[in-house]
Amino acid sequence: MAKNDIQPAVPQHVGIIMDGNGRWAKRRGLPRLAGHRAGGQNLRRVIRAARDAGIRYLTLYAFSTENWNRPAEEVSGLMALLDEFLEKEIASLHAEGVRLVHIGNLQVLEAALRKRIEDSVSLTKDNRAITVVLAFNYGGRDEIVRAVRKLIAAGLPAESVTQETLTAAMDTAGIPDPDLIIRTSGEQRTSNFLTWQSAYSEWVFTPTLWPDFDEKTLQDALAEYAGRDRRFGRISES
């Protein structure tokens, strides 16, 4: 492995599929929305832990394009919880140097929530302590389709379509691919998360439910990542 290809001990970019809110609530005899609220309250703790660990980019899978298939009451509650979180927390996150970026399709969201997200992104755009990428109304396949449509609309000829041009048309343009993706709750599926970008990501599946995911669980995942041999198609020198 070339000297400049040595894997850093701490991944530059970590993605998290935040799963298990409903089961967390069920185990406590609470409604599902109470689990989502507990999961939302955990966001700031994990963002701080990631920043303190030296992670530069943290992508959080908050609401997928498939989540619209859930009961209308739950969907409405999730929208309200995001709006509430941003209203209460964005000023503090901004003061701590957090930059917020959104990926996904904002156009179908209600105007008030869309504006809340856009305002939060604008407020924090110059911060550099850590970039938090909020994947809300996001799906990997949907992102690829929208990226291809951008290239077609721009008149790019077929022979000019490359991995580089498609990457530049993605929502994540300018953001490095994730080195590590963590899924909580014990489920072992990728669930349409960063489909293009995760081609060579390392994956860690933890049984911990998202509301219980804390600094120690993150450090355990980082330790597992540090022990991986990322070859990117090459032969390991070890």
Active site residues: 19, 67
Q: Give the pair of three-digit tokens for residue 37.
A: 């609220």
**Inter-CA distances, 160 with 21, 125, 155, 169, Å:** 44, 31, 10, 13
How far, in Å, CA of 214 to CA of 182, rounded? 13
Would you put residue 98 in left (φ > 0), alpha (ψ -120 to 50) or beta?
beta
**R_g (Cα) of the chain, nearest Å:** 18
Torsion of CA 103, 207, 55, 66, to 10 degrees: 0
Give the start-end residues of each E strand in 105-218: 130-138, 180-183, 202-205
Q: Checking DSSP bridges between strand 130-138 and strand 98-103, what pairing results, if any?
A: parallel
Q: Which of 87, 89, 81 is nearest to 40 (CA)?
A: 81
Give the single-character DSSP code of 208. Answer: S
How far, in Å, CA of 64 to CA of 18, rounded? 11
